[in-house]
Amino acid sequence: MKGIIGRKVGMTQIFDEKGNAIPVTVIEAGPCVVVQKKTKEKDGYEALQLGYQEITKNEEKIPKPYLGHFKKAGVKPMKVLKEIKFKDIDKYNVGDTITVDIFQKGEKVDVTGTTKGRGFAGVMKRWSFGGFPNSHGHRYHRAVGAIGCRTYPGRVHPGKRMAGHYGVDTQTVKNLEIVDVIPEKNLILVKGSVPGHKNSIVIIKSAVGRSRENT
């Protein structure tokens, strides 16, 4: 297990040796600083707390507990703090820098991000309902329709798909292939799409499940 924090730059396509176009997501990953080590003896599990994107202004707005946490580690305040499980944390010390070269081309990774916020959405947008006919004579074109039951049970079941807040969910896309790693620019190119809008924070971790190609 290993991982790194990054920023989604956007999507593009590249061509392989055979001339096939491959859709890729460009992620600017790291450099990340080790702020804290979690050990089995003290915390019950092993992980590294990584900091990403150094805070260069308005440090007076940072809560004092956070400032004390960074001061204890001897590192500068960071905008993002995330815990990631590492297989062998003995190789790392507080203050070390982790870069994209921990991953190699061809590896499989899981990418976690926050989906785009869509606000309050209807059932057609939120759940892909078909809606009512758009011809004349119909009053409810995009409505949800009937939601109730009969006399028994006489209520709306919990989990009924209805209009409501859509998006801003933590989502993980698994078993994405790393198409290329560019260490000098801190870039990782993964095949396919990942959750979130441009410049959103994502976490790249080693894939924990088997890909469908191997099943």
**Per-domain boundaries in the chain:** 3-114+170-214, 118-166
Per-residue burial over 154-186, b = 16 or more CB atoms within 10 Å of its CB, e = otherwise? eeeeeeeeebeebeeeeeebbbbbbbebeeeeb
N- to C-terminal Cα separation, the chain: 21
**How far from the centroid of its chain's Cα atoms is residue 141's Cα?**
35
Kindly give, in sequence order, each residue whose CB lies less than 8 Å from that of residue 43, ignoring residues fewer than 6 positions away: none
Burial class of 24 by CB neighbour count within 10 A (0 to 12, 13 to 18, 19+): buried
Residue 32 CB burial class (10 angstroms; 0-12, 13-18, ≥19): buried
To the nearest 10°, report the CA torsion of 66, 67, 72, 75: 100
Q: Residue 122: name the closest of 114, 131, 112, 113 by CA.
A: 131
pLDDT in tens, the chain (215 residues): 888 999 999 999 999 888 889 999 999 997 999 999 888 888 888 889 999 988 878 878 888 888 898 888 888 889 899 998 888 888 888 888 899 988 888 899 999 999 999 999 999 999 999 988 888 888 888 988 888 888 888 888 899 999 999 999 999 999 999 999 999 999 999 999 999 999 999 999 988 876 555 54
**Rounded to an integer, what is the distance from CA 206 to the centroid of its chain?**
13
Q: Which of 3.40.50.300, 3.40.50.10330, 2.40.30.10, 3.30.420.40 would CATH assign to domain 3-114+170-214?
A: 2.40.30.10
Q: Please give the model's pTM, rounded to 2 decimal places.
A: 0.82
